Amino acid sequence: MKIIKSSGRVLLRAAVLSLASLPTLISGARAQADVNELIEQIVAANRILYRQGVLDGFGHVSARHPANKDRYLMAASLAPGRVTKDDIMEFDMDSKPLDQRGRTIYSERFIHSEIYKARPEVHAILHSHSPTVIPFGASQVPLRPILNSAGFLAPDVPVFEMRKVAGSRSLLVTDAKLAKALAETLGKRPVGLMRGHGNVVVGPNIPRMVSRAIYTEVNARLQLQAIALGGPIVYIDEGEARAGEAMRDKAERGHSVDRTWQMWVEEAMGASRH
């Protein structure tokens, strides 16, 4: 009987310990599920932005790690339209890969780490060579919002000038010093242009960042058309822009950013509602 009682106590103690560890196991499973979902969003964002003409063979998308604010996730150095889940890597805030495994990494990854360090509220970043945006970074005509969906561009968009930081050299942002200067130029804005190079777009999450990137390109096309018409242009003012962003901040399912995000994902990833 003593043996049976002793065994019973051991089993009971083991059961109690298992129950005690259950919340940790559940929490860990949820955290991994969050990471997996974010990886899927990063892949979708690469494919979407390629299909929409914002990305071509170059450019990159990242997201802050959901469980560790001092790390971020980004693909290995591939053309965005070819990125898969297996290509997503983890980086620290010095842009050092934690799981490289022989994979090539983007030379301009420092853009992401320096913006994340400067902007705690940012959880998604894009660097692209969005084509219609380029002229506004190289001319004296500022990129301004002409479309309600691009109201976040108000009142105008800052332009990063490499020559002010490093003289006449390659325009690639390949180290932390250059990337920090870019982050400082961006300031608290959602979009920053890079003269002769492209732009950076940030957001609180992947869908919002993707929406901003697409409508930045759309707005640039429309602004060029409006300029070609001649005469004065009535731009979206800051009050109109704030009201529009407030509506998008609500992020209601089936409305605004969510509506377009679901459509873009289905188009890019081959999914279907049926």
Does the annotation mark 108 as catalytic?
Answer: yes
Q: Cα dihedral angle (206, 211, 212, 217), rounded to 10 degrees?
A: 130
Strand order in 88-92's β-sheet? 88-92, 71-75, 60-64, 124-128, 198-203, 191-194, 159-160
Classify residue 183 by burial, with Cβ atoms within 10 Å: 0-12, 13-18, 19+. buried
CA nearest neighbour of 150 among 75, 211, 71 = 211
Distance CA 162, CA 31 (A): 39
Which position among 37, 40, 108, 266 bears the catalytic label? 108
Q: Note whether 153 and 143 are within 8 A (CB).
A: yes
- Structure tokens belonging to residue 75: 């693909």
Q: Which residues are catalytic?
A: 108
